[in-house]
Amino acid sequence: MTTQTYLAYDFPLLSVLWTMLAFALWVLWFFLLFKIIFDIFRDDDLNGWAKAGWLAFVVLLPFLGVFVYLIVRGKGMGRRDLEQAREQRRQMDTYVRETAVSRPSAAEELAKLAAMRDRGDITEADFQRAKELVLTDYAPQASAPPTATPPPGDGPAQG
């Protein structure tokens, strides 16, 4: 057995740190590369040939292509990111406004119940039960029970 085996504890700490740094930079590089590729396709100002040219430049010469793209169009990337975030926010706000349902007031619900009773869809007893439910549902909820006041004459004698 002439082959020497290196185990994890044989690996120097500094080499581990350099390896981790190199790996992190490698991951960041790919993140930047894909962000630029997505930005090329997202940009509406570029025509098809310009997009194809930038994409070929970034894919075939990745280091030079990414650096040149960042120098030439880097400011626009931030602007497009901001516009996209604003558009997504606007769409979310519109969706929430359209889907949020306001609760009808007690008066509206009682008017509907009265109309149903007048048409004969529900009986008077059903109307009274539904009316009680509506009124108790819309009644203000007390956060603390009311304090009991003693009836007159039960307090300490004054005199």
**pLDDT in 10s for each residue of the chain, 159 residues:** 567 776 655 667 777 788 888 899 999 999 999 999 999 998 888 899 999 999 999 999 988 999 999 999 888 888 988 999 999 999 999 988 888 767 778 888 889 999 999 998 899 999 999 999 888 876 665 554 555 555 555 555 554
* Predicted model pTM: 0.51
Residue whose C-alpha is closest to residue 54's, from 144, 39, 2: 39
Looking at residue 118, what is its pLDDT?
93
Looking at residue 152, what is its pLDDT?
56
CA distances from 125 to 99, 112, 113, 120, 121 (A): 35, 16, 12, 12, 12
Both tokens of 98, joined, read: 């359209």
Looking at residue 46, what is its pLDDT?
87
Both tokens of 85, joined, read: 């975030």
Looking at residue 159, what is its pLDDT?
45
Looking at residue 100, what is its pLDDT?
79
